[in-house]
A and B are shown apart, each in its own frame.
Chain A
Amino acid sequence: MPSDFFGWVALILDKYGALFLQGTGYTLLVALTGTVMGFLLGLLVAILRTIPVLPKDPILKRIPVKALSILMSIYIEVFRGTPMIVQAMVIYYGSAQYLKLNMPVVFAAIFIVSINTGAYMAEIIRGGILSVDRGQREAAQAIGMTHWQSMVYVILPQAVRNIMPSIGNEFVVNIKDSSVLNVISFGELFFMSKSAAGTYLRYFEVFFVTACIYLALTFTITRLLRLVEKKMDGKSSYTIMGSQSHSKSMIRITGEEQPYGK
């Protein structure tokens, strides 16, 4: 048996390296799928919650819309207000016990992360929608777009650009929070490290390695997301072709003024 720190780390990587890699794969799978599905869920919730209801609308429209809005609020409150670890226990073991539903663990893991992320995303997207100028909505209405059309074609593209940092944040948080799924025996990275630590009774060395892996994951993802943001922004300098007075002129706009926060 090794006697020093690096000896132990080498042994653990040798014996458990493959399982750590497998665990990392599952962590990424759940974090990625959970964030994407949570984002879609949040989008749906945000769109449904912002359906405008005017007093002159028929009661047949107002009651379902109001009921839907209340339902969404309850969903957001409950899933933001309880820890994901508790949600995991309740959903996985509760459904097995009372609904006799034997969910495969991977499916359960993705489901739990999606539902939890969806609640947070709904609020983030609502913030994004609020940040878009009111004039955009008014202009869309003025040219006759329905609520759905104005949301999908005008408001949301702008809102999503504004909240990209928050979405990236959620993704990074999900990578780390997927570790709570070890309580339902999901084979992600933390579960594997508990195995390794339990077999060799080496907590510090094992969890040091695990921390390094998580750090590598989150660091890479944050840099990649920065790149995505830059791509979404497009070029900082561009040329406007033609103007009202001179149809053949070219006006060059340079991107010297940096947007706040970059």
Chain B
Amino acid sequence: MKKLLALSLVVLMILMSSLALAEGTFRVGMECNYAPFNWTQSEPNDFTVPIEGGQGYADGYDVQIARQIAEGLGKELVIVKTEWDGLPMGVTSGLFDAIIAGMSPTEERKATLDFSDPYYSSDLVVVVRKDSPFASAKSLAELSGANITGQLNTFHYTVIDQIPGVNRLNAMDTFPAMVVALQSGVIDGYVAERPGAEADTKANPDLTYVLFDEGQGFQASQADVSIAVGLQKGSPLTADINQILSGIDHETRIQMMLDATDRQPLNQDE
């Protein structure tokens, strides 16, 4: 009986301590597993933000944008690390205020979420091994017969069918999983956005990415290749966030992305 009491007290204490969701915080959900947009590292530096729950520190292009938005809103930034599939549910149920996770404002997502103006636009490329016959491809047709995949529940996966004669494999759940699969030969290539491909190939010199010639690449709408902040339907933050984003010009965005690509942990020479 005493043990039961002590146990329930412990549970209650844990419950209480985690209920400290303060006002005046800007809670952002992201994967922290998608360099150079967002990643996790174990050591802090001037650019990192601590991840809620003491799970390390987050950095990346998305984190820097989040910091600028939080500053503009006058709130404290809190990063909530969440699985990709849990992000829409997290923002619609109020677990966090916004999704800043390299998410594209596709039509399907617009049914459940509101999106801000885009804060980055990129090209779609295919990451392949340097020593594979596909490394020199310049058009979709040259990837015919390859084993290609993309991340689960992204539009990257849906555009694979545009490659004639492709062998589309089951989607994988994270980018690190796809890098490992590519290096071990399980797949011949995966679809990525150019910054992500830059980051992955810099970290893994045995990989390269196929940059298609003008008009020879994937057909995708402007909404599909840009990324925006995901918000709850009717969120009061949308207008403010759009205003803050309009203050970050194109050159700054490109530079921030390049800096983030340089900073990722895998690039650091120990």
Chain A positions within 8 Å of B, measured between CB atoms, are 1-2, 11, 15-16, 18-19, 22, 33, 36-37, 40, 93, 96-97, 100, 102, 104-107, 110, 182-185, 187, 191-192, 194-195, 197-201, 203
* Given A1-B269, A199-B41, A183:B86 Cβ within 8 A: yes
- CB atoms of A185 and B82 under 8 A apart: yes
Tell yes or no: B18 within 8 A of A by CB.
Answer: yes
Q: How far is the CA of A184 from the CA of B92 in the complex (A)?
A: 15
B174 / chain A contacts, CB cutoff of 8 Å = 194, 198
B131 / chain A contacts, CB cutoff of 8 Å = none
B10 / chain A contacts, CB cutoff of 8 Å = 33
- CB atoms of A185 and B179 under 8 A apart: no
Q: How far is the CA of A169 from the CA of B176 in the complex (A)?
A: 34
**Quick one: closest A residue to B14, CB to CB?**
A106
* Given A102-B93, A187-B53, A198:B7 Cβ within 8 A: no
Our count of residue pairs bridging A and B at CB distance below 8 angstroms stands at: 103
* Given A93-B86, A104-B15, A198-B176, A185:B81 Cβ within 8 A: yes
8 A Cβ contacts from B220-270 to A: 265-266, 269-270
Within the complex, which residue of A16, A100, A201 is in contact with B203, where a contact is CB–CB below 8 Å? A201
B82 / chain A contacts, CB cutoff of 8 Å = 185
**Quick one: closest A residue to B4, CB to CB?**
A40
State which of B32-40, B97-105, B152-160, B189-197 sits at the interface with chain A.
B32-40
* Given A1-B270, A185-B81, A199:B94 Cβ within 8 A: no
Q: How far is the CA of A184 from the CA of B180 in the complex (A)?
A: 24
**Quick one: closest B residue to A23, CB to CB?**
B55
- CB atoms of A100 and B93 under 8 A apart: yes
- CB atoms of B14 and A15 under 8 A apart: no
* Given A198-B33, A201-B204, A15:B43 Cβ within 8 A: yes
Q: How far is the CA of A197 from the CA of B59 in the complex (A)?
A: 16
- CB atoms of A19 and B33 under 8 A apart: no
Q: How far is the CA of A250 from the CA of B33 in the complex (A)?
A: 72
- CB atoms of A195 and B56 under 8 A apart: yes
A2 / chain B contacts, CB cutoff of 8 Å = 270
* Given A185-B81, A187-B54, A97:B93 Cβ within 8 A: yes
Within the complex, which residue of A1, A11, A107, A200 is in contact with B15, where a contact is CB–CB below 8 Å? A107
A187 / chain B contacts, CB cutoff of 8 Å = 53-55
- CB atoms of B265 and A194 under 8 A apart: no
Tell yes or no: B28 within 8 A of A by CB.
Answer: no
Further 14 A-B residue pairs, CB within 8 A, beyond A96-B94, A195-B33: A1-B266, A1-B270, A19-B56, A22-B55, A40-B4, A96-B89, A97-B89, A104-B15, A104-B18, A105-B18, A195-B56, A198-B174, A201-B176, A203-B180
- CB atoms of A97 and B92 under 8 A apart: yes
Q: How far is the CA of A79 from the CA of B84 in the complex (A)?
A: 26
Tell yes or no: B80 within 8 A of A by CB.
Answer: yes
| Those 7 A-B pairs whose CB atoms lie nearest each other, nearest first | A104-B18, A96-B93, A198-B33, A198-B176, A195-B40, A93-B89, A97-B93
Q: Report the minimal beta-carbon distance from B32 to chain A, rounded to whole angstroms.
A: 7
Q: How far is the CA of A33 from the CA of B4 in the complex (A)?
A: 11
Can you sample 21 A-B contacts with CB below 8 Å?
A: A1-B266, A2-B270, A15-B43, A15-B265, A19-B56, A22-B55, A40-B4, A96-B90, A97-B89, A100-B94, A105-B18, A107-B11, A107-B15, A107-B18, A195-B40, A195-B56, A195-B81, A198-B32, A198-B39, A201-B266, A203-B180
Q: How far is the CA of A18 from the CA of B56 in the complex (A)?
A: 10
B141 / chain A contacts, CB cutoff of 8 Å = none
A104 / chain B contacts, CB cutoff of 8 Å = 14-15, 18-19
B71 / chain A contacts, CB cutoff of 8 Å = none
Q: How far is the CA of A198 from the CA of B32 in the complex (A)?
A: 9
Q: How far is the CA of A191 from the CA of B174 in the complex (A)?
A: 13
- CB atoms of A203 and B95 under 8 A apart: no
Q: Report the minimal beta-carbon distance from B133 to chain A, rounded to whole angstroms.
A: 24
